[in-house]
Every structure is written in structure tokens, then in C-alpha cells.
Amino acid sequence: MKMIEAQNLQIPKAGVKRVLTGMRTTGELHLGHYVGALKEWKRIQDEGRYDCFFLLADVQALTTHAEKPELLAKSVVSVVKDWLSVGLDPNDPNIHFVQQSMVPERYELSGLLMMIAKSAEVFRNPTLKSEIGSDKNPTMGFMAYPVDQVADICMVSPTPPRSGDEVLVPVGEDQIPHLEYSRVLARRFNHDYGDVFVPCSPLVGEVGRLVGTDGKEKMSKSMGNVINLSDSEVVVNDRVMKMFTDPNHKTVNDPGDTENNPVFIYLRAFDPNKDEVAELTEHYQRGGLGDVAVKRILAQRINEMLDPIRERRSQWEGRDLREIVVDGTEAARIVSRPVVEAVREKMHLGYPD
């Protein structure tokens, strides 16, 4: 009896468990978003252990698309449809679709976190650097977005933090430097002003980075190497047939590479039949299996995966999506208000006594 009591003492109190993650509203979502993020979001939703805030990141979209605001507004709707189509369910009381621009608390938090973020540590962020590319004159909004993103994560922090509390952030691999920085800044604030934030826990899914159909390192809208979740069967077939494969596999009988071959990378990601993948891999490596034959199978498997997604999308067609976003945004504001108040108090911001 005593032993059970002692064991119970070691079990942490349940704690508040929240998920914060999001997507930029810059257009249709693709297979990279699916395997890198959405599949994991859906799994977490279905597990039911977390209160989930999924951010429609329209402010962050402005960091690269400020000249196309109408595209961003349209994309808020298309991203909501993409999310619904993969089975995210805003009717579940734990699931909130949050429109970033409509949460005033996040701007306040972001502005205050800017005061403790050092420029050198922000600018050396490898993801930021690779995204800047050759742009010699990025906007201040772009350069500061890693801090802005910390505000998004911190705004749902259970406050004051208690043992067992958790903010889980499921993302693709490119987000890891941002999440590490979010932990640095949260800890710095807690150290300098007193505990307000729970440093977040990153979670990368099985496929942290899906290559493009052209074999480039990342499937990405801006690179035009995507297969969208909303693509029809005909479009998927066409995109798969045009995919890059092993350039040294010139004739059917040549032995081919399957490790870095995007067609096989996709088979590993999208074909649920592992025996089939093993068999195709062995045959291709040995020689005697043509690219067109493998691509036909891959296209079929992708279409089979997309079929239920297409079906769900059609069920939501014509329904009013505004209420979903309004309700989800309000849920985020409710949890972020006490966080902002705590930050203000710790930073001695307020009318004089």
C-alpha cells in the first residue's frame, strides 16, 4: 500500500497540454505539408490528449507576399478547406482554427519579446538565411519573423507554468531552428522577469522533409515542384509521370538507385504496402524495371491516399467556414489574454499607482 502511494507521488500532475502550430496562407497545401505536418496533427487530434491551436498564418504570409494581400485572403479559405479535407475537425472542442491576424494579443506579445531578442542570434538562424537567399533587401517583418513566431507559440503558454504543463509544436524539419530559438527566448524571459512561459517541445513527424517532384531538397510552392492535396487524379498522374528519377537509369535493364530517387522516396512515404515497396526497390536496383512502370504504381498509391481527402473536401463544399475561424480565433484569444497580462505585469508595464 505504502509503495503505491510513494509511486503516485512521483507521477507528475496532469498539467495543461496544448498544441500550437500553423501554416502560412500563401496558397494550396501540398504533399510536403501533409507528410511533414498535417498527418501528425491529425494523429494528435485523434489521440485527444491536447487542446490544439492550428494557426492560419496570414501575418507571417505577409513576410514574403505583402504585395499580394488578396491572394492571402483567398488562401485563408483554401487552407481551411485543405485542413478539413485531411480530417481536422473543428467541431471537436479541442480543435481550434485560429486566424493569426485576428489575435491582437499576439502583436503585443511579439512587440515585447522583440525587446529581449538579440539581432545577431536571430539573423544567424539557418532557416531564415536559406529563405532570404539572394534577396539583398528583405523587409524588417521578414527579418523579425523568427521572434514573431515565438510570440505565436508563447501566446498559448499555460501561465503561470506548472509541472506537467506542455506546449507541443508538431512541424517539419525546417522549423527546428525556430523552435530551438523559441525555447531560448522563453527561458530568457523567465530568467530575467520571472516565470511566465512553458518552453515548447518540438515534434517532427516520420518524413521531416519531403523532396520536390524535381528531386530538389524541399517540395515547395515557390519552387513549383509540388503535388497539391486538391489535385485531381489526372493532374496527379501527369505530375508523377514528369517526376525526376535516377539520371543514370537510362535503359530498363540498367540497375537503378532507389535511395535518392524521388519516385522511391515518395513510394516509401505514400505506399502503405511495405512488401510492395521492398519488391519494387529490389527489382529496380537489380535492373529490369522501367521508370514508367514504377511511376504508374506510385501515381495509383498517391491517388488512393488522396481519395478519402477528396471525398471529405466535397462534403464541406458550399458550407460556411467563417464561423469555424471566428470561434477558433476567440478560443486562442481567451488563453492568450492572461499570458499578455502576466508579461505586462512582469515587465512593469501599466499605469503608475
The order of strands in the sheet holding 201-204 is 95-99, 51-57, 17-24, 166-171, 201-204
- Binding flag, residue 209, ligand ATP (CB under 6 A): yes
Measure the CA–CA gap between 96 and 114, rounded to whole angstroms.
Answer: 27
The 219-258 contact track toward ligand ATP, x by CB under 6 A, reads xxxx------------------------------------
Cell matching residue 37: 505536418
- Binding flag, residue 23, ligand ATP (CB under 6 A): yes
CB of 117 to ligand ATP, least distance (A): 20
Residues 128/144, Cβ–Cβ less than 8 Å? no
Among 20, 210, 229, 298, the residue binding ligand ATP under the rule CB under 6 A is 210
* DSSP annotation of 206: S
Sheet strands (E) in the chain: 17-24, 51-57, 95-99, 166-171, 201-204
Among 24, 178, 295, 301, the residue binding ligand ATP under the rule CB under 6 A is 24
Q: How many residues bind to ligand ATP according to rule CB under 6 A?
A: 18
- Binding flag, residue 32, ligand ATP (CB under 6 A): yes
- Binding flag, residue 175, ligand ATP (CB under 6 A): yes
CB of 20 or CB of 342, closer to ligand ATP: 20
The 63-102 contact track toward ligand ATP, x by CB under 6 A, reads ----------------------------------------
The residues in 279-308 that bind ligand ATP, with binding defined as CB under 6 A, are none
Among 16, 19, 33, 178, the residue binding ligand ATP under the rule CB under 6 A is 33
CA angle 193, 20, 227 (to 5 degrees): 140
CB of 232 to ligand ATP, least distance (A): 20
Contact residues for 241 (Cβ-Cβ < 8 A; gap 6+): 292, 295, 299
- Binding flag, residue 171, ligand ATP (CB under 6 A): yes
CB of 249 or CB of 301, closer to ligand ATP: 301
CB of 152 or CB of 165, closer to ligand ATP: 152
CA angle 321, 326, 331 (to 5 degrees): 130
Measure the CA–CA gap between 57 and 26, rounded to whole angstroms.
Answer: 9
The 309-338 contact track toward ligand ATP, x by CB under 6 A, reads ------------------------------
CB of 152 or CB of 246, closer to ligand ATP: 152
Between β-strands 17-24 and 166-171, what pairing exists: parallel, antiparallel or unpaired? parallel
40-67 burial by CB neighbour count: b if 16+ within 10 A, else e? bbbebbeeeebbbbbbbbbbbbbbbbee
Measure the CA–CA gap between 33 and 28, rounded to whole angstroms.
Answer: 10
Taking residue 194's Cβ as centre, other Cβ atoms within 10 Å add up to 12
Residues 261/246, Cβ–Cβ less than 8 Å? yes
Residues 218/224, Cβ–Cβ less than 8 Å? no
Among 18, 19, 20, 26, the residue binding ligand ATP under the rule CB under 6 A is 26
- Binding flag, residue 344, ligand ATP (CB under 6 A): no
Q: Which stretch binds ligand ATP (CB under 6 A): 172-180, 230-238, 267-275, 307-315?
A: 172-180
- Binding flag, residue 37, ligand ATP (CB under 6 A): yes
Among 188, 218, 283, 312, the residue binding ligand ATP under the rule CB under 6 A is 218
Length of the chain: 353
CB of 23 to ligand ATP, least distance (A): 4
- Binding positions for ligand ATP, rule: CB under 6 A: 23-24, 26, 32-33, 36-37, 171-172, 174-175, 209-210, 218-222
